[in-house]
């Protein structure tokens, strides 16, 4: 897929394609390829000066970091993606990064910080009327009942 965009010199398409290939490889369990494609997507968005695209790709790369068992990298990527979302007014991107941050914090046992991040993500998703709000609400309620 990225070859077609490369041939016609559409860097945005290559960057987006790389980010999505990173997702696909992550789901297939090939975390090295997922990391490589995800990083390439991030780098291309930086090269273009597309901060919103960078935030989008960073959150995807953070998911791969989680799957690779590297919570420190995942959290750092989430932080950068969240900032990119705020800077560009991309509320959905900000909430997406907060959700991954919360999931990562929960995995490392920092339940208080996880709940804070997930609650902030929930508030944004509710404001956007995004279906993920109901999923996050259910997760947070399940945690409260434990």
Convert the pLDDT of each residue in 79-90 to its tens digit. Answer: 999 999 999 999
Sign for the pseudo-dihedral over CA of 27, 66, 126, 142: positive
Q: How far apart are CA 136 and CA 119, in angstroms?
A: 8
* Distance, CA of 8 to CA of 143 (rounded, Å): 49
Q: Is the pLDDT of residue 8 over 50?
A: no
**Tokens 């070859």 sit on residue:** 3
**DSSP H helical ranges for 49-107:** 51-67, 71-88, 91-107
Which token pair is 137?
């609400």
* pLDDT at 4 exceeding the cut of 60: no
pLDDT tens-digit readout, 13-70? 889 999 999 999 999 999 999 999 999 999 999 998 999 999 999 999 999 999 999 9
pLDDT of 144 over the 70 cut = yes
pLDDT at residue number 14:
87
Are the C-beta atoms of residues 41 and 77 closer than 8 Å to each other? no
CB-CB contact of 103 with 95 (8 Å): no
Identify the pLDDT of residue 143.
80
pTM of the model: 0.89
Tell me what pLDDT residue 29 has: 98
Q: What is the largest CA-CA distance in the chain?
A: 54
CA distance 99 to 113: 12
pLDDT, mean of residues 110-117: 96
- Rounded Cα gap, residues 137 and 125, in angstroms: 10
- Average pLDDT score, the chain: 92
- What is the structure's pLDDT at 63? 98
């Amino acid at each position: 897929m990225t070859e077609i965009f490369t041939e016609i010199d559409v860097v945005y398409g290559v960057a987006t394609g790389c980010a999505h290939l990173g997702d696909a490889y992550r789901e297939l369990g090939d975390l090295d390829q997922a990391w490589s494609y995800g990083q390439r997507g991030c780098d291309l968005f930086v090269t273009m000066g597309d901060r919103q695209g960078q935030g989008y790709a960073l959150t995807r790369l953070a998911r791969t970091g989680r799957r690779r068992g590297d919570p420190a990298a995942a959290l750092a990527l989430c932080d950068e993606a969240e900032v990119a979302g705020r800077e560009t007014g991309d509320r959905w991107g900000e909430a997406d990064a907060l959700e991954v941050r919360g999931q990562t914090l929960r995995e490392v046992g920092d339940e208080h910080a996880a709940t804070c991040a997930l609650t902030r993500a929930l508030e944004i998703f509710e404001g956007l009327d995004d279906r993920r709000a109901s999923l996050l609400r259910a997760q947070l309620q399940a945690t409260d009942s434990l």
